[in-house]
């Protein structure tokens, strides 16, 4: 029995290491520091934990998570021992380095978190406060960092929202994603250059406030449930990304992309869009993969053009990938669909239309592969007509297509 208990104790120690690996706090700013500065950084945090304090299990676990994320060879036990021999020269060098580095904000935040996890001896707080002052953290910055720390300690999104409201300009580019992404629902990054909306549980992310217009350089929506009640417009962005989102429309709202360098949409669900799902106008790179479209389409009085994608201008489109998607019960309802002029001038398709082909661009690389079209149909004056899938024809560019499956009303992939 003693041997069994020893074996299980060894397994538990290994499991503790696994948990540290699983919950490592990887901060790209501190991980990018050189090895010597990383060593100083960890040693100084160890002095914060050990000064006038017997480290708690929570403090030690958090230190291990930071240590694992910063990616340095020596063990945290080694750094705890080295911290006991810290010198005045070491501290002065650390202060000099931190004063000119963004890493000082993370040191202050991690110091506040670690002290809060301990027994809270007054001398311990005073020592950390002196370090924070010497590495040039202002009072307003400290107020912001303390509010972020409270949000992390209580796993409460509301405090992070409050922190964003009081954040001075100096910290608005300081990313807190590694510390809050496991619980926060909202804009993890919220700057002029970048917005990053996410939620650990998309079904409970209904209180996030969104804009209907975006022109940030980088925009990401991750693991969210969003209702598009009116058009959302993205213009002049370098990258726009939707990943693992569920989007529905309760009206005729759609996503509009104008002058976008790269658009990526993956592993998303689109439900009940009745005025196209999205409109693409001068989008350079398009990658739409592994998504599902359910009961999405377009109703019009003229000739039908693109149930899912409305292509306004492809003159700047270099590549268009539409792969491993499923379209169920998607439709076009149009008075002139499938007549001669509709085919010649509308170039209709359930997937997209052929608008913008007169601009002379024939170099676009279209890849449409491994998609599934189920129950898709075109309705002409309430008469059902087999649907053409792509809307792409000779002259639009170079088309590569294979392994697309069609069932139901669909009989033709390409015109």
Dump pLDDT digits (tens) for 39-82.
999 999 999 999 988 899 899 999 999 999 999 989 999 999 99
| Residue, of 334 and 69, whose pLDDT is higher | 69
CA-to-CA distance for 62 and 194, rounded, in angstroms?
Answer: 29
- For residues 253 and 110, state if they share a domain: no
Number of domains in the chain: 2
**Would you say residue 150 lies in a domain?**
no
- In 10 A of CB 205, how many CB atoms? 19
26 lies in some domain: yes
Q: CB of 117 within 8 A of CB of 62?
A: yes
Beta strands in 80-224 (DSSP E): 186-190, 194-198, 213-214, 218-222
196 and 108 within one domain: no
* Domain shared by 101 and 230, yes or no: no
107 and 221 both lie in a single domain: no
pLDDT at 412 over 60: no
Q: Are residues 123 and 242 in the same domain?
A: no
| Residue-range definition of the domain harbouring residue 56 | 2-137
For residues 146 and 312, what is the distance between their CA atoms, to the nearest angstrom? 49
Q: Is residue 164 part of a domain?
A: no
User: Average pLDDT for residues 183-211, to the nearest whole number?
Assistant: 89
Residue with tokens 């990018």: 32
* 124 and 236 part of one domain: no
* Per-residue tokens: 337: 């669909």
pLDDT digits (tens, 9 = 90+) for 8-19: 777 676 666 666
Does 235 lie in the same domain as 110? Answer: no
191 within a domain of the structure (yes/no): yes
Q: Judge whether residue 194 has pLDDT over 60.
A: yes
User: What does the pLDDT look like over 81-129, one tens digit per residue?
Assistant: 999 999 999 999 999 999 989 999 999 999 999 999 988 678 899 999 9
Average pLDDT, the chain: 86
User: Does 301 share its domain with 221?
Assistant: yes
Which residues does 248 contact at the CB level (< 8 Å), separation at least 6?
226, 227, 228, 270, 271, 272, 273
In a domain, 228, yes or no: yes
Which pLDDT value is given to residue 295? 94
Give residue 311's pLDDT band: very low, low, confident or very high (50, 70, 90): confident
Kindly state whether residues 132 and 212 are assigned to the same domain. no
| Total count of residues recorded for the chain | 415
Of the candidates 224, 343, 233, 217, the one whose C-alpha atom is nearest the C-alpha of residue 280 is 233
The C-alpha R_g of the chain, in whole angstroms, comes to 28
Record the pTM.
0.82
Inter-residue contact 145 to 137 (CB < 8 Å): yes
Provide mean pLDDT across the span 125-136: 96
Instruction: Judge whether 243 and 221 are in contact, CB under 8 Å.
Output: yes
Residues sharing a CB contact under 8 Å with residue 175, sequence separation 6 or more, in sequence order: 29, 188, 189
Sorted by sequence, the CB contacts under 8 Å of residue 211 that are 6+ apart come out as none
Confirm whether 178 is domain-assigned: no
Of the three residues 105, 137, 169, the one that is the final residue of a domain is 137
pLDDT over threshold 70, residue 234: yes
Q: How far is CA 235 from CA 257, 307, 321, in A?
A: 6, 22, 21
Domain shared by 238 and 313, yes or no: yes
- Find tokens 């929506």 and name the residue: 221
Q: Does any domain span residue 173?
A: no
Q: Beta strands 246-248 and 365-369: pairing type?
A: unpaired
The model's confidence at residue 338, banded by pLDDT at 50, 70 and 90, is very low
SS3 353: coil
Of residues 296 and 336, more confidently modeled? 296
Q: Is residue 125 part of a domain?
A: yes
User: What mean pLDDT do residues 21-36 have?
Assistant: 88
Closest to 232 measured CA to CA, from 218, 217, 215: 215
């Amino acid at each position: 029995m003693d041997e069994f208990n020893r074996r299980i104790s060894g397994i538990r120690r290994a499991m503790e290491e696994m948990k540290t690996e699983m919950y490592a706090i990887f901060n790209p700013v501190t991980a990018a520091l050189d090895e010597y500065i990383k060593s100083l950084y960890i040693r100084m945090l160890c002095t914060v934990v050990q000064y006038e304090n017997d480290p708690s299990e929570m403090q030690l676990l958090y230190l291990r998570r930071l240590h694992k994320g910063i990616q340095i060879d020596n063990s945290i036990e080694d750094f705890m021992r080295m911290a006991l021999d810290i010198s005045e020269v070491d501290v002065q060098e650390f202060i000099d380095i931190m004063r000119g580095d963004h890493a000082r904000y993370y040191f202050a935040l991690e110091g506040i978190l670690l002290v809060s996890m301990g027994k809270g001896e007054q001398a311990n707080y005073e020592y950390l406060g002196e370090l924070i002052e010497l590495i040039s953290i202002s009072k307003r910055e400290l107020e912001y960092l303390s509010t972020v720390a409270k949000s992390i300690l209580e796993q409460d999104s509301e405090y992070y929202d409050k922190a964003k409201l009081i954040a001075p300009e100096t910290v608005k580019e300081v990313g807190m994603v590694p510390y809050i992404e496991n619980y926060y629902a909202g804009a993890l990054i919220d700057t002029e250059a970048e917005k990053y909306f996410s939620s650990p549980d998309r079904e409970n992310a209904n209180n996030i406030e969104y804009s209907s217009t975006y022109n940030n350089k980088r925009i990401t929506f991750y693991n969210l449930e969003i209702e598009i009640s009116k058009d959302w417009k993205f213009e002049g962005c370098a990258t726009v990304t939707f990943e693992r989102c569920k989007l529905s429309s309760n009206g005729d709202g759609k996503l509009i992309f104008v002058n976008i360098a790269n658009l990526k949409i993956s592993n998303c669900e689109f439900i009940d869009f009745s005025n196209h799902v999205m409109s693409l106008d001068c989008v350079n790179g398009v990658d739409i993969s592994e998504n599902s479209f359910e009961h999405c389409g377009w109703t019009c009085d003229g000739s039908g053009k693109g149930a899912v994608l409305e292509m306004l201008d492809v003159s700047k489109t270099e590549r268009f990938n539409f792969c491993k998607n499923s379209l169920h019960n998607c439709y076009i309802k149009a008075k002139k669909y499938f007549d001669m002029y509709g085919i010649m001038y509308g170039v209709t398709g359930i997937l997209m239309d052929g608008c913008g082909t007169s601009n002379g661009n024939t170099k676009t690389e279209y890849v449409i592969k491994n998609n599934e079209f189920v129950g898709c149909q075109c309705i002409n004056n309430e008469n059902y007509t087999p649907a053409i899938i792509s809307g792409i024809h000779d002259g639009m560019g170079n088309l590569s297509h294979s392994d697309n499956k069609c069932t139901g009303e669909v009989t033709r992939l390409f015109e």
